Every structure is written in structure tokens, then in C-alpha cells.
Structure 1
Amino acid sequence: MALSEEKIVNNSDILDEFQVLFFAMSRLTSFPWSVVENELQSNKSSEFLSELLQQTCLHPLCRKFPPSVRYRRLFLSELIRRQEAAACDPLDELYDALAEVLGAEEASECYKSYLLPSGDVISLLENMALISEGTTGLVTWEAALHLAEWALDHQQVFTGRSVLELGSGVGLTGITICHSCGPHRFVFSDCHSTVLQKLRDNIHLNGLSGGSSPVVTVDELDWMTATEEKLREIRPDVVIAADVVYDPDVAESLVKLLSKILSCCSVQVQPEIFICSTVRNPETYSNFKLQLKNAGIRQEVMTGPVSQVFPYNRLAAIELIKLFR
């Protein structure tokens, strides 16, 4: 490959990386800024910055599902700082883009978009605050992203099957599975009214409502009061949950629900159950696993790497376990 061709390939990879990080609203410190600096220093031209803008702030996806105003303002300010430090040609469209967001009003919600290997894009309306309206379910957490990546690597677990997701939150994992893994039916569930409404909005946003395939439903499911009759009605082949073990009381109610799910199924048709957790409090997580053991629920840690599709903190302690009797 000629040097110029190699440079084009490398620039294309960098632009793709910026796009993935930008639309997921990743921390600005995680962007490969040194590559931008090198490119600007070597060329003294704003052509690369123009291409980068077209893949981020000026991309049609940004017009339709924009990241937060503050995030775009910080991103554009960082681009301008790098451009000025390199003393390269000014880029009018860069300053125009900044002027646009400087005059925009910040909202309590914003869009995050995640690019799938298939070329599909999942766009989610999320809250800016990690905790709002008494719930953590209005944002996407690391374990949901990890479980979605695992699902993409193990699509056969979900293909043609009925899937129940517990604590679906804003819907990232379930929407990924519906778009890429071919389930026959997918039941999103949560118990918080605001989360359920946001979940319905995001499902509609991603084209999974109105008689689509798979059959998608959103159920209000309170873990403390869910009846065996209700669980038999859902009759899942697969049960999944992500980032639901964060509080001792929540963990206790989850174990009781899982016991009920396993009890109301015959041995021959017991569902496969996968729980993915970011271990923020080792004591809480160890207690959850002890409760599983005391309830007669066995567990297997799912080891092995997953394909890196989404940007998130990969240094976080994330564990995926499979449960069965």
C-alpha cells in the first residue's frame, strides 16, 4: 500500500472513532486528540477538521438526534483550541457550528446514539442526570453495554426465542437484541412509570413498535408483586438483566423473582437467565450471589472476551453470570 493510501485509511479510522465516541457522548478525554494535533501540525490545513465536523456536529444524525448542547459546545471548543494551537487555516464552519450551540438552550434530556456493526444506529433519549425522579433507570450504564456486546457475539441464544428483560431502563440492551439477534418476541419491563414512558418512546424511536418483527411489548413488572400467573403468561425462553444489583433490598427482591421464574417452569423448559453487573460495591454483589446460592440457584460466570462495539469504561469490574437450577 502506498503511503498516501495508508494515510487515507488511517484518517478514515480516526474519523470513524471520533464519530462513535461523539454520538455516545463519551468523555472528551477519551478521544484520540493527539492524532488530530499531528494531522494539523503536518498539513497546516483545516481539511481534516472539516471532514471531522461532517462526521460529528454536521452529520445528519446530529441534526436528528443531537447530543447535549453543553457536550457539543465543549467538543467544538476543543476542536477550535487544537486548530488555533496548530496555527492552521481558520475554518468558518467550525465557528458557525459553535455559534449555533452557544445560542441554544440546554435541556434536561439529550440523545445518545450507538452504532452497530450491521450499520444500524440505536438512538436513545436519556436524562442528563445519572439519578433523577428517584431512579437510575433513565440513563445507559456500562453493564447494559457489555451485555449488548455479549448478545451480539452470541446471537444464537436469542434467535427465534421469547426474551424477557428485567429492569430495561432506557432500552439499549433490548433494542440491540431486537435489531441484531432475531428474537421471536421481546418483553421489556420495568416498574417506574417515568422509565416505562421513556422506554416506550425509545422503542418507537428505533422502529420497534406498530406490529414490527419481533413482537415487542413493554410491561410494568414489580419484582415484589409479580405473580406466577403473570410469569407463565410471558413464558420466556431467555431472561436478561443488566446493572440491577446495586442495592441490597433490590437484590433481595430480584432473587425472589428469579426463584419464582424458575419455580413456575418445568425442568425441561427452564429459561436461560443472564445477569450482568458492574460490581461497584463488592459486599452488595457478594451478598446477592450468596442469596442466589441459598435459594438453590446455581451460577456460572461467563468468561471470555467480547467484541468491542460500544464505547464505555472497560476498566470497570463487570461480571456476567448464567443462572439455573
Structure 2
Amino acid sequence: MTETTANLMNGKCGAIQAKDIVSTFRVHFLAMCRLNTLPWKLLETELKQGRSSELIVDILNQTCLHKVCVQHPPSVKYRRLFLQELIKMHESTTAEPLDELYDALSEVLCLGKESIFYKSYFLPSGDTVSLTESQAVISEGTTGLVTWEAAMYLTEWALENPHLFSGTTLLELGSGVGLTGIALCRHCKPKKYVFSDFHPSVLQKLEANVELNSQDLPDVAVSVEELDWENVSEGRLRDIGADTVIAADVVYDPDIVDCLVSLLSRILRSSKDSSQPNVYIASTIRNPETYSFFKKKLTGAGVTHSIITGPTSEIFPYNRLSSIELIKLHL
């Protein structure tokens, strides 16, 4: 959730203009954010001021009729529920019915349940990263089929610091569905980017998403690789040759902390020359005990860390109240 959205939901309308309402609807809708996080209350306030038809049409054009939605649509159910709510809001006014709204709903109601749908994330350049994701937090026995908050946080920070990644060989651990890597490849100009994960379903989805966005990844050598943290060999790490390593939301299960810390320690010590790889880990601190355990294990492995100041820009729609920390590792 962005600061603007939080203000909208708390009724802090102030000088926020209609264009901000429309923009917020667009960003949240195309990312398939929960419908209750959209600025319905602010819309209701604006409708009471008599701008109903014009504003509703603008929102419709920037959501269900937006070119990104046409090419990479959110789920049918999500679009149906959204349109029903939008119609309800419009019908609460004294304005004449809008044929555009009912036409859009009729079209969605005629669609069958799809096997694939998309979440799309706007980048500062105005273009989007569209991904196939799961609607459920846990799906097919893994949490890796959705984009998590720490991944968005890490991506925002990286986009503010492209100089740290330009020309590098970059390895991402636990790439999930691929938002961070695709965004970095587009705007940070690494020489090589290695997406990695281990769960078969995640790798399949990751490969599909990288392919979906491949036309927008010029001049970057990209690969998607299976990487078993516990059993990856020293030779494999040397072959990858990463001088920068990133990961987001990989510290969530105490049962995998040991193998993760062991891998990070080996990566830091795997450089062929005197320079250590730069290693950045972003974590949503859901369980402080697990996160403290992770840091304790790092210390026991001879690895220190420094906390990095997070992003100042608000690019993606996620809960800004979440406790997220970005650290850099050192020997």
C-alpha cells in the first residue's frame, strides 16, 4: 500500500486530484490488489460532487479497457467483482446509466474461467512487467508463485541504484515469479542475469514469465536455472561467476536457514580474485525470532551485515506498514 493509497483509505483526500484517483485505480487493478485496498471512499466523495460520469469512464478506461488489461488481463472473477462494485458506485448517484459499464460487465460475464491470468506492475518509465501468478498465497505446495512485498521493496531500491548492477553478473536466489529480475534487466543494465529457484512449479512459471517479457530484455544474457541451496557445488558457483547476488523473502522458515547461510557464506568466499561479491538480502520480518536466528547463524559463519537504507520512491502497491529490512553481507 502506498502512502497516497493509505491516505485515500483513511479519508485524507485533501488536495488529491481526480487524476490521482484514476492512477491509483489503474495501478492497483492491474496488479490485482485486494479490491478493498482500492480508493472507493475517495471515489464516493468525488461522485457526490457531481463528476460521476466523467470520472467513472476515466476509471473504466484505465482499468478494464486499458491496453495492458486487454493484452494481459487479470482474472475473470476479479474483473467481474471490480465492475460490479464500480457499477454500484455509479448507480448510487443521480447520473444517467453508462452503457460502457454494462457492456464491459456483459463481456466479462460471457467469459469462462481461465487457466492463466496476469498481474501487471508499472515501472517508473511507464511500461509494465506482466506476470502469471497464483491467486493463493500457498499453491502447489509452495509460496513461490506470488510476488511478495520484500521483492517489490528490493526492486524499488534497485531501480533507485542502477549503478550497483550495471555491467555485473547478477545471481538472484529464490526468484519466484520474476518481478525483481525482469525489472532490473530492463532498467539496471546488468551484463548477465541468472534467475534461480528450486521448486518445479516455480521454475516453470518463472521461465514462462521471463519468456513473456523477453522482448523487453535486450542486451542482457538471461538464464533460468534450478539451484539447490544445500547441494550446489563449488564448481557450479564458480561457473555462474556472480559478482552481485540478491534475494528477497528467503528468510521465512527456520528449517532452511542453515543451508541458506551456508550457501551465502560459500558465495562470499567463492570469488576468484580478492573482491567479494556484493550480496543483498531483503526480508519481510514476519517472525522476529526466525529473522534473529538467521542473523545469529550468519555471525556464526563469520558473516557480518550492514543495514541498507531502503527505497524512497513508491512504485509498487504493497503494504508500507510491513517491517522490511535490506541488508548487505560482508566477510
Class of the TM-score when normalised by the shorter of the 2 chains: over 0.9
Alignment of 1:26-45 (within 5 A): 26-43=33-50, 45=52
Q: Work out whether 1:145 is the aligned partner of 2:152.
A: yes
Contact 2:281 2:326 in 1 (8 A): yes
Match of 1:279 in 2: 285
259-268 vs 146-155, greater mean Cα deviation: 259-268
154-163 vs 303-312, greater mean Cα deviation: 303-312
Amino acid at match of 1:238: T
Q: What CA deviation, in whole Å up to 9, does each residue of 1:176-217 have, x standing for no partner?
A: 1001111111000011111111111101111259x9411101
Equivalent position to 1:219, from 216, 225, 236: 225
Match of 1:84 in 2: 91
Match of 1:270 in 2: 276
Equivalent position to 1:122, from 129, 132, 153: 129
Distance 1:166 1:251, change over 3 A: same
CA-CA distance at 1:109 after TM superposition: 4.0
Partner of 1:127, secondary structure, is coil
Equivalent position to 1:293, from 287, 299, 303: 299
Q: What CA deviation, in whole Å up to 9, does each residue of 1:74-108 have, x standing for no partner?
A: 11111111111122221111112112222323345
Distance 1:255 1:208, change over 3 A: farther
Q: Distance in 2 between matches of 1:253 and 1:133?
A: 23
Question: Which ranges of structure 1 fall in alignment gaps of 5 or more residues?
Answer: 1-8
Alignment of 1:110-259 (within 5 A): 110-207=117-214, 212-259=218-265
Amino acid at match of 2:33: S
Amino acid at match of 1:222: D
Contact 1:40 1:88 in 2 (8 A): no
Q: Distance in 1 between matches of 2:309 and 2:169?
A: 24
Question: How many residues are aligned here?
Answer: 317
Question: Which ranges of structure 2 fall in alignment gaps of 5 or more residues?
Answer: 1-15
Amino acid at match of 2:318: Y
TM-score normalised per structure 1: 0.93
Distance 1:184 1:208, change over 3 A: farther
Amino acid at match of 1:236: A
Question: Which segments of structure 1 move beyond 4 Å, counting only runs of 4 or more?
Answer: none
State the percentage of identical aligned residues. 55
CA-CA distance at 1:324 after TM superposition: 1.0
CA-CA distance at 1:305 after TM superposition: 4.4
Contact 1:108 1:127 in 2 (8 A): no
Equivalent position to 1:14, from 13, 18, 21: 21
Partner of 1:86, secondary structure, is coil
Q: Cα RMSD between the aligned structures?
A: 1.8
